[in-house]
Amino acid sequence: MPTSSSDQLNQIGNEYFGRGLYTEAYDSYQRALTCDRQSGDRRALVVTLGNLGNVCAVSGRREQAQQYYQEVLELQKILGDERGIGTTLANLGNLRTDAGEWERARAYYLEALDLLIRAGDDAALAVLYSNLGLVARETGDYEQALAHYERSLTLMRRLGNQAGVADAYRMIGKTYVLRKRYEDAAACALTSLGISRRLRDELRVAGACYLLAGIREEEGKIAEAAELLERVVAIDRKYQLPKLEENTRRLEALRERAGREASRA
């Protein structure tokens, strides 16, 4: 079967992937893999195996994703593709982050960092710095986390990636919350919210509102927190997001508190 069939099958798989149809995407990529094994085209194999790793990663099959990424890595080393190696190392780091294995994740990310800096891949670096920020935040190094997030923010701005800018501000805000710097955290959340609204990106709007609701609750502004969380729950319900039930319970508790406070006023 010619390699062009692999290209077509990967394109079909990518369309399924973009629609969240991961089983169908996986099947298409597997058929492409059969073509690539038969043709022996290493560059085509890298693409297909990478796609298989990605679809396994997002559908929770971490160990299977690891196997695909490891094969990709070996092929990229043979091909001398430094930028590709950096991307794959970052993907391997993401798997370890998903598993909460922070030190292993950091090791992969730092190895990827050197390669991506050399390659001058600002788009990949912007994401990688954010990932390093998450690892630092989760391991309690808040100053390092903020430094990484600031680097990500700078690159996102340079690239004109407004969605990435919104995400970076939200991550910085989350870190400020952990340091109990609520005024700074609120400023970041509001900036993220404003950008997300301009983009008409409801999921990012929900993320910013969720962060701001937590900040207002910490500040004792319970009615405002409830109002913000109402927006989150509405978006959760619209898209049937996994935290709908949890956020609904939290909203009910906030409404009860707000009601008690209003009755005492």
pLDDT tens digits along 38-81: 999 999 999 999 999 999 999 999 999 999 999 999 999 999 99
What is the pLDDT confidence band of residue 262, given thresholds at 50, 70 and 90?
confident
Q: Does domain 1-80 have CATH number 1.25.40.10?
A: yes
Residue 1 vs residue 11, higher pLDDT: 11
pLDDT of residue 263: 86
Q: How many CA atoms lie within 13 A of 101 on its CB side?
A: 12
Mean pLDDT of all residues belonging to the chain: 96
Percent of the chain, pLDDT > 70? 98
For residue 121, pLDDT beyond 70: yes
Please state, in angstroms and rounded to a whole number, the distance separating the CA atoms of residues 148 and 157. 14
The answer to whether 57 touches 24, Cβ cutoff 8 Å, is no
Residue with tokens 């798997």: 95
**Residue 104: C-alpha distances to residues 4, 98, 108, 237 (Å):** 38, 11, 6, 36
Q: pLDDT: is 131 or 262 the higher one?
A: 131
Calpha distance 49→76 (Å, rounded):
11
**CA distance to 163, 205, 210, per residue, from 232 (Å):** 18, 8, 6
- Look up residue 156 and give its amino acid: M
The domain locations on the chain are 1-80
**What are 134-178's pLDDT values in tens digits?**
999 999 999 999 999 999 999 999 999 999 999 999 999 999 999
